[in-house]
A and B are shown apart, each in its own frame.
Chain A
Amino acid sequence: MDLQTLKDTSDRSYRIAVNKKNALEKAKSSMLLAYSGHLFEANAQTINLVQVLKDKFQNFIVLDSNDNPMKVEEPDDFLDKLIGKQQEALNRYHQSYKEAIKKG
């Protein structure tokens, strides 16, 4: 493989890495959920925690993104919103990721 091809490959990898990182940061921002005055990251950890607690209790306490406690009075509603936010953000990330790879 000639040097120019190697350079092009390197440039392409750089572009993909930067675009992927930017798309991921954007997804993380999109995953923020404001709920009952608190801020939550609608990530896998939060969703799993709420699902597990919902299976055990009718209402329960969780910590928001700044470790402030919040009583969850309507677990189903909270979980739906978390999942909705997360999937919306990840769908967009999925699209951006595919485009980044395709464009190179």
Chain B
Amino acid sequence: MTGVLLYCFNTDTYRYDKIAAKTVPLLKKYLRLPITIVTNIDTFKCMPPLGFIDYKLIENETGNQINRKPWHNLDRYRAYELSPYEKTILLDIDYFCFSEYLLTLANTDQDFMVHDKVHDITGNDSYRFSRNSMIPMVWATAIIFKKSQRAKAIFDMVKYVKQRYNYFCELYRIDFKNFRNDYAFAIALHQLGGFRGYETIPTNLPTLPGNAVVTEISESHIKWNYEGRVGQIENNDVHVIDKGVAYV
């Protein structure tokens, strides 16, 4: 069985439960797959009614930060053991699904797939990280994996990397010193791929950068304002970085 696995942990700064209230109905509409949300008890208590959803309550690790604010992203490596599905679409909670694109990706025999390219939908080409590390970054925003020895090895490797993240940051000369799953997966894939290569999703991950403010969301589109310029995208999945999207 194929299903969607989401991680959702509120922090003192951001209300991810409010983002889930927007993204989960879209996932239900376009993918029509069972959904499991991994969360903690505090976030669970804030969750609005989302219909038939499975919850996995865990005690999440804390201690990581982004922009000097708490960032609960240290448990992603557990997705393999936490997923109840044979094939899993593992998504960030701020992935807005407006198409059946993910179903196509899930309908393959690949053990593990991830985006290695991103497309900035504001047209500003904001994401250029090639000079920030010795290895290409991957985007852990959307990962497709099936229960298999290889996928398990990748998640185990991510755990190993997480426990020695500072060392791997030095080894690969990664500029971002706080723990990022994007780099943890990139490192794991690089190591397990025999330092050669790995399978990726052949399209770009559509992303709305953090400095673009989301102004409107419907069942089919999203509108934003980027430095005074208004934009819109329809029937196309989008990874939204602006956490203000929770209040749109």
Contact = CB atoms under 8 A, between A and B. Distances in A.
B233 A28 contact: no
A65 interface: yes
Interface of B: 99, 101, 104-105, 107-110, 119, 121-123, 199-200, 202-204, 206, 229, 231, 233, 235-237
Interface residues of A, number: 23
14 contacts: A15-B229, A18-B121, A21-B119, A22-B119, A25-B119, A26-B235, A29-B203, A33-B104, A39-B105, A39-B108, A39-B110, A66-B110, A66-B200, A68-B199
Contact of A25 (B108, B109, B206, B235): B206
A66 B235 CA distance: 26
Interface string A25-42: 110111011100111010
Given A19-B231, A34-B108, 8 more contacts: A14-B229, A18-B231, A21-B119, A22-B119, A30-B99, A32-B101, A33-B104, A34-B105
Nearest to B237: A29
B25 to A, nearest CB: 21
Contacts of B231: 15, 18-19
A101 B107 CA distance: 35
User: Main SS of the interface on chain B?
Assistant: loop
Interface of A: 11, 14-15, 17-19, 21-22, 25-26, 28-30, 32-34, 37-39, 41, 65-66, 68
Contacts of A26: 206, 233, 235-236
